[in-house]
Amino acid sequence: MHDNKDPINVAIVAVPEVTASALYGMFDLFSSPGRDWPFIVTGEAGEQRMRPYVVARSSNALTAANGIWMKPDCDFANCPRPDIVCIPDFFVNPGLSVSGQYDAEATWLKQCHEQGAMLASACSGAVLLGEAGLLTNCDATIHWGYVKTLTNNYPGIRVRLDSSLVLSGEGQRIVMAGGGSSWQDLALYLIARFVGLKEAMEVAKVYMLQWHDLGQQPFASLMTFRQTTDATINKCQEWLSINYKTQAPVAAMVALSGLPERSFIRRFVKATGMKPIEYVHALRLEEAKQMLETTDLPVEAIANEAGYEDASFFGRLFRRKTDLTPAHYRLRFGSLHQALEQKTGTSKSGIFRQG
């Protein structure tokens, strides 16, 4: 906790293509401690405990990912010395290197860290921590769609998707939030650590925030269909997308490919990044997730529809991959689907209900 009575300086880094909602959402939350709760309960604002400001390599205006023009408060050379540096997510091509594109940001982040600042990232913002050389051989997290952006480009990183926040580095002065709205968890954690738990709870109540205690696994897609230059493997992927319930699907794909089994497996892994049986399970479980969200079928029936004769094996596999049982997954995401269905007036068949 910060003992100094002066407001805590929170620098929020803006780069071109930054997500404006996360950046300005952080700005709002960090402006709240000490100020908003007294205003809500007494009608008189209290003393603001944190001082956020937007900083960039240049103080010139830049364009956010959604096209909004943003004007940083200051540049790296002329900003107040930060106690905390936050890096919101920004658009970066998943898996690709950004080496050399953010040298100014990387140099400044490393300098701030050496001077004792806490560094915090949301989603793809962790890429800048990697560019600064601060994640080597460390635990880390990032949005599930960007895992390879870290593992392909920075040595020794151990990406964890099971926690909403991951702390790393000397004195745990690096904290990362996975993605989506988990930047809210990041802000609440920093408020609790630097101002106090009471103030963090007050901010959560004012903004009606809920902690994402499940991590990313329940939300993550277990697979992506990757088009490759290998036409034979693409043909097998397309076949499997329709015939995933087939018994012994790997053997069927080997036969379809006309390749020796070892050659098929080697080419499949190279093309998809997954072993054939892992790909089959991922595809089946994605189908099962959709059925759990959108139908009332019993879990045993869904297991069978997804290609599993043994419902208990299906349940164990589902939990290992999503960190939820099928029943808990349905409770969490099926109720969301039903609520949206009621609000939008659409049925499970997508037909609009006439009032």
* 197-203 mean pLDDT: 86
pLDDT tens, 35-47? 999 998 888 999 9
What pLDDT is attached to residue 349? Answer: 35
Domain boundary among 155, 174, 207: 207
The rounded Cα 252 to chain-centroid distance in angstroms is 35
Here the CATH number for the domain that contains residue 250 is 1.10.10.60
- Asked whether residue 35 falls in the same domain as residue 141, the answer is yes
How confident is the model at residue 351, as a pLDDT? 32
Residues 176 and 263 in one domain: no
DSSP 8-state class, residue 82: P
pLDDT at 264: 96
Query: Using an 8 Å Cβ cutoff, are 8 and 83 in contact?
Result: yes
Report pLDDT digits (tens) over 169-195.
877 899 998 876 788 888 988 998 899
User: Residues 294, 162: one domain?
Assistant: no
In a shared domain, residues 168 and 236: no
How big is the chain by its Cα radius of gyration, in Å?
A: 24
Range of the domain at 169: 8-207
Query: Do 277 and 134 sit in the same domain of this protein?
Result: no
> For position 217, what pLDDT does the model report?
54
Cα distances (Å, whole numbers) of residue 28 to 21, 188, 189, 281: 10, 12, 15, 42
Q: Are residues 185 and 42 in the same domain?
A: yes
pLDDT bin (cut points 50, 70, 90) of residue 350 is very low
Q: Are residues 172 and 103 in the same domain?
A: yes
354, pLDDT greater than 60: no
**Residue predicted with more confidence, 32 or 159:** 32
The verdict on pTM exceeding 0.75 is no
Higher confidence at residue 158 or residue 352? Answer: 158
State the CB neighbour count (10 A cutoff) for residue 220: 18
Same domain, 18 and 113: yes
Question: Do the strands 50-56 and 74-75 form a parallel or antiparallel pair, or are they unpaired?
Answer: parallel
Structure tokens at 112: 């701030």
* Number of neighbouring beta carbons within 10 Å of residue 116: 11
* Counted domains in the chain: 2
Distance CA 100, CA 183 (A): 26
